[in-house]
Structure 1
Amino acid sequence: MHIFRLPGSRIIKTGTAVFITAIICEALNWPPVFAVITAIVTIEPTVAASIQKGLIRFPASIIGAAYAMLFTYLFGHSALTFTLAAVLTIFTCSKLKLDAGLLVATLSAIAMIEVTEAHFAQAFFTRLGTTSIGLIVSTLVNLFIMPPDYSAEISKKLHVLHTKTSRLLIDTVDALLEEKHADSFKFIYQSDQHLFEKTETLCHFQREEWRYHRSTQEERRKVHFHVKKLETLRQIHFHLGNLLTLDPEPLFWNYTQKERIRQSVLILASFIEDPSKKQLERPLHECMQPIIEEFWYAKAEAGAESEEMNRLFSIEISLLYELLAIFELAEELESHSIFLQKQSSPPLYDYRK
């Protein structure tokens, strides 16, 4: 266990923005508290988000400051002043769709009431100045100091998703082949869903950063294929969710048939875990032949039974169909990996020169 850890980039950038903002405000003899609050909340995961939300927070702050000074002038430091300033700031920002700046504007308005005794116009314009300083400093810090780079984190999370998806496939199919409920894996499935969402968010952040920072063609290509792999894994995960909803029933397969299916699933799961590794002695399509054969056999046998049971698909057909759908998506993963490897490999030396 690590007792002492180096602070993350966002903590460092927040501290830097606060320090610079406070220094500037002190040099101008302005109260730094409002500028510091603005600087703290303007440090976003990406530069694009800092700029976009900064453009929203500035007018929201103007609204909050205006209400604070108006009601302080009319009613002094009374309960009515605090109430009206807070309620009307929230109402106005909501109506103008300035939700990203609503909280900061409201808190700053309440704080301004307490520290303003007179010279309301001066206090209002000072508030605008400090807000501008906080926004500008924090945006520049986010742009130039430790600019965000999520590519390594995306690769790491993708590797985890490959492993977790592979493991979930094995466990789910084992439970169904043993004619047991797979309910115990639904929590893992939901946890994986959250990891997918986090990884997709990081991909979005990385693409946003390309608008403000230079990137090589190789870096862009790598993230592009990360996104493609993530989408394919998402689809595999969807079919795993379908498997988890199947109700276990007695299967007509004997032990030998179940083992053939299980062995094919183990190979498929191993391939999903690392589609770039040359670990198969035979092509994946050939390894999946037992499942393909069992699927067509089950369809042929299920015709009369499905009419008697008033059901379109048996448990065997449903299970095999989802496995075949996952198999096709696994081949997509292979194509992504092969293409990325070809793009990343060094060019051949031209001996004719």
Structure 2
Amino acid sequence: MFLSFSFRGGRIFKTAIAVFITAWLCTLLDWPATFAVITAIVTLEPTVTDSVKKSFVRFPASAIGAFYTVLSVFLLGHTPLTYTVSAALTIATCYKLKLHDGLLVATLTAVAMVDVVHSNFLIAFIVRLGTTTIGLLVSTAVNMLVFPPEYSTMIAKHLATSKQKLQELTPNVIQALIDGETDRSIHQSQITALQKDMALTAKLLQFQEKDTFHPLAAKSKYPIAPQKSQFQALKLMTHHLENLLALPLTKPRWTTIEHLQLVEANKALATQWDTLDAQHYKEQLAIITAQFFAEQRQATDTTFIPIESLLLFEIIALYEQLPKVKSQ
């Protein structure tokens, strides 16, 4: 909740600053501020890279919209058809030229521009380009200089939270399945919540990666490569947990010794999340692996894979990711 508030709060504050500076500059030049403000709001992207990159798309798109508005007013006057023609031609042309990132701001400002074009069509067109330029430059500058986008700290906190949830959930799920429990609703809801957290982390990683090599972007407090590696490991572990919960509701047939060995191995591996003892980790994983191959040798029906083998396979695949989720 706090991370979400901070992220949104920063964006709101930067948007407010960009709008104020843009409107102030337009007032000094005696230009209509509406179009510049719309451009500034839309241009404020989550990353500096996107702000700069998309500006080169939004400027020509806005020029196209301004041109069609001036032309429509010149030919049709101020009628309902003018709005329709201006919007339709702007959308069609931007789509044809693949200026998708500029389509929204170009169409909105093209329609809003109809009411302010009365005469001096060339001047109106030039002023429109000027206001667009002000909005783009101010918004990009504010994005770089005021709370520049830097997501690595948020990513680190999200990864730590996801790891903690997995650390608590994994041994409980495995223990329940080893024991043959069939009620999986609680664990399934926990997995669903975890997947939502992981989706947000993936988006933050995408934002941070875009700005990693940009010379104007803020420097990351944490290197992104280890964070990506840890995220992929956590994502795979979540995937294997989901696979475990999707197994048939069939109670595994273990001998007493097999059941005890698996329970003890699961408990031992559950202690390896923070301080990994490589030798102890390998020994416990080897116990589960040996049981997996024993089940394969004992299988009499080659048509279907026994539930015991499926269960052990997913457990092995899950715990193989454990060394990669240690704190970076």
| 1:12 Cα deviation from its structure 2 partner | 1.6
> Who is 2:11 aligned against?
10
Q: How many angstroms does 1:133 deviate by? A: 0.3
TM-score by length of 2: 0.88
For the pair 1:321 / 2:313, whether they are aligned, the reply is yes
Equivalence for 1:268: 269
The root-mean-square deviation of aligned C-alpha atoms, in Å, is: 2.6
Q: 1: CA distance between counterparts of 2:49 and 2:166? A: 32
Aligned partner of 2:154 in structure 1 is 153
Is the contact between residue 148 and residue 218 of structure 2 (CA under 8 Å) also seen in structure 1? no
One-letter amino acid matched to 1:239: H
| Aligned equivalent of 1:347 | none
Residue identity opposite 1:98 in structure 2: L
Give the TM-score taking structure 1 as reference length: 0.83
Q: Assess, with a 3 A threshold, how the Cα gap between structure 1 residues 244 and 286 changes in structure 2: closer, same or farther.
A: same
Q: Which position in structure 2 is the counterpart of 1:109?
A: 110
- After the TM superposition, which residues 79-228 of structure 1 pair with which residues of structure 2 at under 5 Å, given as runs? 79-177=80-178, 178-180=180-182, 182=184, 185-210=187-212, 211-213=214-216, 219=221, 222-228=223-229
The alpha carbon displacement at 1:265 in A equals 2.4
Q: Which runs of at least 4 in structure 1 moved beyond 4 Å after TM superposition? A: 213-216
Equivalent-residue separation in structure 1 for 2:325 and 2:86 (angstroms): 56
Q: Are residues 1:283 and 2:280 paired?
A: yes
Residues 214 and 68 (structure 1), Cα distance of their counterparts in 2 relative to 1, 3 Å cut: closer
What CA distance in whole angstroms lies between the structure 1 residues aligned with 2:217 and 2:110?
39
Query: Contact 1:166 / 1:270 at 8 angstroms: preserved in 2?
Result: no
Contact kept, 8 Å, 1:181 with 1:247, in 2: the verdict is no
Deviations 1:140-169 (A, max 9, x none): 111112211111101011012112223342
Q: Are the counterparts in 2 of residues 64 and 85 from structure 1 also a CA contact under 8 Å?
A: yes
Aligned partners of 2:48 and 2:217 also within 8 Å: no
Preserved CA contact (<8 Å) 1:61 1:131: yes
In the TM superposition, residue 175 of structure 1 has moved relative to its aligned partner by 3.8
Give me the identity figure in percent: 38
Aligned match of 2:61: 60
**SS at the partner of 1:117?**
coil
Q: 1:215 to 1:162 in 2, by over 3 A?
A: same
Take 1:288 and 1:101, find their aligned partners in 2: how far apart are those partners? 54
User: Is the 2:153–2:221 contact (alpha carbons within 8 Å) kept by the matching residues of 1?
Assistant: no
Equivalent residue for 2:297, pick from 273, 285, 300: 300
Which residue identity is paired with 1:201? K
Deviations 1:86-116 (A, max 9, x none): 1111111111111111111111111111222
Q: How does 1:233-248 map to 2 (within 5 A)?
A: 233-248=234-249
CA distance in 1, matches of 2:193, 2:78: 50
- 1:283 match: secondary structure: helix
Q: Is the 8 A contact 1:248 1:315 kept in 2?
A: no
CA contact (8 A) 2:148 2:217 kept: no
